[in-house]
Structure 1
């Protein structure tokens, strides 16, 4: 294979040290610990998979610097690195398909308003993309097929808008923002007032601001503010199928996992992590470096850093204790039935206390 590589060269590529194995052995591909075969390299990114190092058929593995050789299968080559998961990404780039080449220009079927500000030699606009009046595109932007960019939107340099993503009017994106297919930025906030027995829509005239280096997954929706802005801070990574309500604010480098819903006007600090299916009530303040396990329900302000779980969300150990209580209910019910039978017998005089 043209991308085959020796163990020594692979160690240099991933910034590691070849601790066990022949420097001249050839690696032809990569795979997981479970599925790797002879000639492939794998990695140990999580201690829970340590037993698999004894059974994997891989020729080589990227492992933590402090891993003992006896913890791995006899004969497997070991490349010690600081961060196996991150180091493995370098191997992926080597063995994986080549990156899609940036091809500047505008496809013949794209619709671009006459007053859009961009350098045709420094952007790529795909088939049937629609870019409305007043848009500004930074150098290096890629707009894939069928994407929609609404009036007055501003995109910083290096943004990637994947097929069929939507950015509604006047939203602002920083540099290197990635929107995956089906995501919608700037849809109306969910605002209604009851008037004479009918729901009357309240105008949503604010914007969404997304700062540099944010990535947003497929079919995620971020609502525009009623007024002002809904704000996604620098470096946030938002999974598929997330809903962020109007006037929310996310600090820097937050992680929001799939099916999480954040209600309107809630503010998150920096480095907040929310697992899958977390639900957040509106108008709350969530502090820096808080972490919420999957399916947590956040119903009040949580200013202190730390891990939380349960509904309503509590500090980790307290939350786990509360979550364990329902499993004890069948045993408690059985004990109650036994006690009721004894009490009934005492009252009937058929047994003595």
Structure 2
């Protein structure tokens, strides 16, 4: 594919500085870009090196100018570069149609331009929207509802009665709607608690590879609009994850907990059962949250505390051996004074 700088500027809604007729045939990283490539420079580090770049064109912030280079000025260079990447490298998809090796149950309803790959199994009374792609070896159980423009990659299981919204992406190997981990003990054995609810995934959600999202005991486990999860995330029964929240790799959300909007749960962080995490919260990596976190807080540690306090505590930790030694020394001196006083 070849595009002029003017055509690219129209795609990213940017302003050209330089040769609008310059032909670009590839997007490339800043360090590797050649004369027929376009790249981006969104931070001071790369903007300071822009004269040394061999790129044919560079996407930069609006306020930046370098007359010796072909530039496209935009508000958000990285977002504009993503649009350019999508243009030069459109995602590949399945060919439309239903494979002869797919197993289709009774009462299944399809939308337009559906793609169902080999060895997919679809249960009874499933509803599938327009332009849905289901990749090889995935399983869609009875009475599942899937919206429009959904991609379900290989070896995904979407279990009974779960609901998937529009423009949802579920990466390979994820399980949506497995039973929650619920048991009640009589003192001798653990009795399994039935899980009769569902998982509901709203519009524009992306579920990473190898996620496990448990169905509710009653009602629903709810992944709200715009949520993005990394690989290997576990979400337990009856959890609600608020709009546009990010869950990073190996994060664990305990049963019946609620995560607010626009929050970030970082890698290997764990949220305990029945915990409320507010809006715009950041939970640092490897933290353990066991109580409510108010809106806007940044927390770290296990158990999690305010990040600033955690930093102070971490600063003290390596000094503890020295502090211990000094305390012993003070204790000896005090004992010596007490002995001399008695004499």
Instruction: Give me the TM-score of the superposition, normalised by structure 1.
Output: 0.86
Residues 330 and 44 (structure 1), Cα distance of their counterparts in 2 relative to 1, 3 Å cut:
farther
Equivalent residue for 2:248?
Answer: 257
3-state SS of the aligned residue for 1:186?
Answer: strand
In structure 1, runs of 5+ residues without a counterpart are 348-353
3-state SS of the aligned residue for 2:130?
Answer: coil
CA distance in 1, matches of 2:265, 2:42: 21
Deviations 1:208-232 (A, max 9, x none): 1111111101000100111111111
Deviations 1:8-62 (A, max 9, x none): 333233211123x333333232222233233322112445655554654333221
Equivalent residue for 1:273?
Answer: 264
Equivalent residue for 1:286?
Answer: 277
Equivalent residue for 1:185?
Answer: 176
Equivalent residue for 1:7?
Answer: 5
Q: Does 1:106 align with 2:89?
A: no
Q: Does 1:23 align with 2:24?
A: no
Q: Does 1:118 align with 2:110?
A: yes
Cα deviation for residue 141 of structure 1 reads 1.5
Equivalent residue for 1:86?
Answer: 79
Cα deviation for residue 102 of structure 1 reads 5.6
Say if 1:257 and 1:275, in contact at 8 Å, map to a contact too.
Answer: yes
Cα deviation for residue 66 of structure 1 reads 2.1
Cα deviation for residue 330 of structure 1 reads 5.4
Cα deviation for residue 340 of structure 1 reads 7.3
Equivalent residue for 2:126?
Answer: 135
Equivalent residue for 1:226?
Answer: 217
Cα deviation for residue 244 of structure 1 reads 0.3
Say if 2:51 and 2:69, in contact at 8 Å, map to a contact too.
Answer: no
Cα deviation for residue 127 of structure 1 reads 0.3
Deviations 1:316-346 (A, max 9, x none): 3223223333233455467668x579959x8
Cα deviation for residue 266 of structure 1 reads 0.1
Residues 10 and 122 (structure 1), Cα distance of their counterparts in 2 relative to 1, 3 Å cut:
closer
| Worse overlay, 312-321 or 189-198 | 312-321
CA distance in 2, matches of 1:45, 1:171: 41
Say if 1:64 and 1:83, in contact at 8 Å, map to a contact too.
Answer: yes
Q: State the number of aligned residues.
A: 338
CA distance in 2, matches of 1:66, 1:244: 43
Cα deviation for residue 200 of structure 1 reads 2.2
Residues 169 and 321 (structure 1), Cα distance of their counterparts in 2 relative to 1, 3 Å cut:
same
Superposed, 1:161-176 pairs within 5 Å as 161-176=152-167
Cα deviation for residue 251 of structure 1 reads 1.6
3-state SS of the aligned residue for 2:238?
Answer: coil
Cα deviation for residue 185 of structure 1 reads 0.2
CA distance in 2, matches of 1:11, 1:332: 62
CA distance in 2, matches of 1:48, 1:200: 59
> C-alpha root-mean-square deviation of aligned residues, in Å?
2.7
Residues 105 and 4 (structure 1), Cα distance of their counterparts in 2 relative to 1, 3 Å cut:
closer
Equivalent residue for 2:340?
Answer: none
Say if 1:33 and 1:52, in contact at 8 Å, map to a contact too.
Answer: no
Say if 2:94 and 2:117, in contact at 8 Å, map to a contact too.
Answer: no
CA distance in 2, matches of 1:318, 1:290: 16
Deviations 1:260-285 (A, max 9, x none): 00000001122222121211111011
CA distance in 1, matches of 2:221, 2:45: 39
Residues 23 and 312 (structure 1), Cα distance of their counterparts in 2 relative to 1, 3 Å cut:
same
CA distance in 2, matches of 1:105, 1:67: 49
Equivalent residue for 2:296?
Answer: 305
Say if 1:310 and 1:323, in contact at 8 Å, map to a contact too.
Answer: no
Instruction: Give me the TM-score of the superposition, normalised by structure 2.
Output: 0.89
CA distance in 2, matches of 1:332, 1:202: 51
